[in-house]
Amino acid sequence: MKLEDLSRSGLDLVLPLSMIFLGEMLIFLGNMKGAMMVHALTLTLLVLSSAYIENRIYPALMLLPLFRLLNVAMPVFFQLTIYSYSLVYAPMFIPIIFILKDAIFNRSETGLTAKGFWFYLPLAVAVGFALGFGEYNVLHTDVLIPDMSPKNILILSLIMILFVGTVEEFIFRSVLQTVMEERLGAIPGLLVTSITFGVMHSGYHIPLEILFVSFAGVVFGLLFWMTRSLPVIAIAHGVTNISLFLVSPLHSDVLVYLIGVPATMFLLYCAIFKKLPKKIEPLKGER
């Protein structure tokens, strides 16, 4: 089957995506061995396909099973510590660097820009704290650091933003959302990406968590449309986890201020500089 026929039939997208969903559902059901076999097979097929067929869908989807396999390969996978996150996420910068080096996705698509960062930063912080509080009410997480020393708070914040936020948002918004919108259209691409984002949280074994994270994926996706900035959504994602694993378990009473103050600052920015956010729409870039 030629590439044109493969794309026309949708098998180049449906087949690997279905296998990724199957692997995650096996994790959800507690069959970790079966899930790893499915993800390993999916990764192998995607690597082979990308070697012989020029299709941006393959390197985009390849990041998902690779990320899951790295998760499970780390001996600290089930021990939620601040350092376990860095061990899991740091290796993902290698394929990200290769994707950028090979120019599979351009800078405007991935949002590698500091333009508008300070303007949208308060909005990202407000969104992050709000989503983190919502997710806390689903998971009821414990605090992730042993004590509330400034050092531990700083380490947690840096890891959640520079590692977790940057890696996951590059995978799901910069890359996956870009190819899904390109292939399916703006709204369907956003929704499929967001649902995939939710399904990739199957390890919690909580259906409501998958639904909530899918909703959070829509919010992050819309924020990416608005800002076209990876740093902004990495901040929003990182603050979500800071809210989830630090603020909400200990001081949920201050969240009204942590959400309200930056949200008010953003509205003041818009009024003072008479600058409204960009129209929320997907990127119409050239390839």
Closest CA relative to residue 124, chosen from 180, 196, 173: 173
Q: Is the predicted pLDDT of residue 26 greater than 50, yes or no? A: yes
Q: Is the predicted pLDDT of residue 276 greater than 90, yes or no? A: no
pLDDT in tens, 137-168: 999 999 988 788 899 899 999 999 999 999 99
Report, in angstroms and rounded to the nearest whole number, the Rg of the chain calculated over CA atoms.
19
The tokens describing 247, both together, are 């603020």
- Distance, in Å, from the CA atom of 94 to the CA atom of 91, rounded to the nearest integer, reads 6
DSSP of 18-45, one letter per residue?
HHHHHHHHHHHTT-HHHHHHHHHHHHHH
Under the banding of pLDDT at 50, 70 and 90, the label for residue 191 is very high
Under the banding of pLDDT at 50, 70 and 90, the label for residue 54 is confident
- Distance, in Å, from the CA atom of 94 to the CA atom of 98, rounded to the nearest integer, reads 6
Q: Is the predicted pLDDT of residue 3 greater than 80, yes or no? A: no
pLDDT (0 to 100) of residue 12: 86
DSSP of 144-171, one letter per residue?
SSSS--HHHHHHHHHIIIIIIIHHHHII
Contact assessment for residue 147 and residue 246, using Cβ atoms and an 8 Å cutoff: no
Which residues, at least 6 apart from 272, have a Cβ–Cβ distance to it below 8 Å?
none
DSSP of 226-252, one letter per residue?
HH--HHHHHHHHHHHHHIIIIIHHHHG
- Distance, in Å, from the CA atom of 70 to the CA atom of 73, rounded to the nearest integer, reads 5
- Distance, in Å, from the CA atom of 175 to the CA atom of 100, rounded to the nearest integer, reads 10
pLDDT in tens, 126-139: 999 999 999 999 99
pLDDT (0 to 100) of residue 8: 57
pLDDT (0 to 100) of residue 268: 93
Contact assessment for residue 69 and residue 40, using Cβ atoms and an 8 Å cutoff: yes
- Distance, in Å, from the CA atom of 71 to the CA atom of 85, rounded to the nearest integer, reads 9
Q: Is the predicted pLDDT of residue 259 greater than 90, yes or no? A: yes
